[in-house]
Structure 1
Amino acid sequence: MTQDHTSMNRRHLLAAAGCLGFALAVQPVAASVIHTDSQALETGIPDIDTANGIMPGYFAKPANAKSHPPLVIVIQEIFGVHEHIKDVCRRLAKQGYFAVAPELYFRHGDPALPADIDTLLREVVSKVSDREIQDDLDAAWRWAGAQGADQTRAAAVGFCWGGRQAWLYASHNHQLKAAAAWYGKLEGPTSDLMLRHPLDIVQQLDVPVLGLYGGQDQSIPLASVERMRAELKRTGSESEIIVYPDAGHGFNADYRPSYNERAAQDGWRKMLDWFARHGAR
């Protein structure tokens, strides 16, 4: 065995075993981490056929469901489909949903392995285009429908990096009933990989989105949130934005110091109510 293979195997063992399913870039894991069991659930790794490869990820749904459960597409954080995103899927499945989180970096690298955020951004995240992501979310949509998820009662939810994608996917997939974007970036420079941001697509937004933001977020200024809120109001959108004044970025990430229990629990309740109100239940 070569030294490269030995190093690679060791890194995979660290990511899969020693780090308890969390990306290396988020170590150490905070004591506040929540673990949702899989009792009465069916969980697993999907084989999602895209136009360019088989995409893995994670799914959770009620076991032995007597009817087709409503679908929620869970859009990963910047750290990929690690244990926190899997736990979110199980939480949704406990509420009766078929939740699927596609691994949207699967062509470009393993987000569990870089030891810091700068390396993760440079080696993996910077290679992924919005168009590729939207196409892969469509592939997850088709896969879930073929597995029995009810696409007539479907929603999407995204966190951080995925929060921005949730806004974009809501403007792309008009069959969604609702979406929720947790502290997703709203505006910024564009590029060949990022042609538009949520603030640019409000006029095409006919799926109601609930935006959940922190008033102390250093990466998404309140001025940006207020510009988005004003544009939603100007266009008569059903979408809404809630700001938690004492919360920072990543306030639902219970495995990190940014976790704000009060804001996270309130946001979760409001998200479920939002889905139900708009027919995704």
Structure 2
Amino acid sequence: MTVRLESVTFTSGDGATPIPSYLAIPDRAGPHPVVLILRGVAGPDDGYTEIAQRLAEWGYVALVHGWKVRGIDPADEPVYADLQGAMSFLGSVAEADLERLAVFGFCRGGVHAVMAARAHAEIRVVVVFHGFAFRPAGAQLGAEPYDLAGGVNVPILVLHGTEDERAPMADMRRMEARMQSLGKVCSFVFYDGARHGFAVRTHPGYSEDAATPSFEQAKRFLARYLPVPG
């Protein structure tokens, strides 16, 4: 399927800050289900625009949320305002069906994905690639995904590397056990030897051996809970 990728700018929920982003749209009649991509800190935009194009080829409208305009380690409040702006912007995209919305969170974006799932009833599915159960040492203080888990009531898929140097396996196993004890619809898939950032081609930790099956897993998860018509 051919897709259309374009640079876009939306206004944050603070009503003032412009947020540069990218929008990928399938080149066929819509409306289409939507994936909001919450990127990580490391690496240029190219790795994330490629992911947006991949999702559009699957049949989803994909918006790369450009929160890096806030710096490399922003507080939660402005990021949350930007999420509100992204949701409003997607509501203006004719090809986007916001009643069928997923969030993909990468690295730090995985923290934001959990925050968003608690706050926005429109979100139906969450997928986290090499995210965090607890924020890494030295990061901006804020709510921990481990503590937020009780408020996440949508299916969630966590894809993680066993050699993640930023989010250790012990933490992710604690998160997995917590989600299970809470009765959440949550699946964890671990990739042997994969480091932090394995799914993003422009990230220093990229691994094709882990990235390829992780996206196949994510595609099946989306197809189960947020299928593309036809």
| Normalised TM-score (structure 2) | 0.89
Unmatched runs of 5 consecutive residues or more in structure 2: none
Is 1:60–2:24 an aligned residue pair?
yes
Q: Tell me, what secondary structure is at the counterpart of 1:140?
A: helix
Write the letter of the residue equivalent to 2:63. V
Structure-to-structure mapping, 1:136-155, within 5 angstroms: 136-148=82-94, 149-155=96-102
CA RMSD of aligned residues (A): 2.2
Is residue 44–residue 202 contact of structure 2 (8 Å, CA) maintained in 1?
A: no
Larger Rg over CA atoms: 1
Match of 1:222 among 151, 154, 169: 169
Structure 1 partner of 2:2:
40
**1:100 alignment partner, one of 35, 52, 63:** 63
| Counterpart position of 1:245 | 192
* 1:72 and 2:35 aligned: yes
TM-superposed CA distance for 1:233, in Å, is 0.6
The one-character-per-residue Cα deviations of 1:130-170 (angstroms, maximum 9, x if unpaired) are: 12212212211221121121111110101112122222222
**Residue pairs, 1:252-263, within 5 angstroms:** 252-256=199-203, 258-263=205-210
Deviations 1:237-273 (A, max 9, x none): 0022111122121111223452222221111011111
C-alpha distance in 2, partners of 1:204/1:188?
18
Inter-partner Cα distance in structure 2 for 1:255 and 1:188: 22
Q: 1:278 aligns with which of 207, 225, 228?
A: 225
Residues 105 and 259 (structure 1 numbering): CA distance in 2 closer, same or farther, change over 3 Å?
closer
1:125-144 mapped onto 2 (5 Å cutoff): 125-126=72-73, 128-144=74-90
Q: Give % identity.
A: 25
Letter in 2 for 1:142: S
Q: Post-superposition shift, 1:48?
A: 0.9
- Whether contact under 8 Å (2:20, 2:66) holds in the other structure is yes
Q: Is the Cα contact below 8 Å between 1:154 and 1:176 reproduced in 2?
A: yes
1:49 aligns with 2:31: no
SS at match of 2:29: coil
Aligned residue number for residue 125 of structure 2: 178
Which is strand-richer, 1 or 2?
Answer: 2
**2:165–2:195 CA contact under 8 A, matched in 1:** yes
1:233 counterpart residue number = 180
Please tell me the residue identity of whatever aligns with 1:179. Answer: V
Contact 2:136 2:167 in 1 (8 A): no
Task: Please say which of residues 143-152 and 246-255 is displaced more in the overlay.
Answer: 246-255
**Number of residue pairs matched?**
225
Q: Gaps spanning 5+ residues in structure 1: where?
A: 1-38, 109-123
Q: Report the TM-score when normalising by structure 1.
A: 0.74
Amino acid aligned to 1:93: A
Which residue pairs with 1:32 in the alignment? none
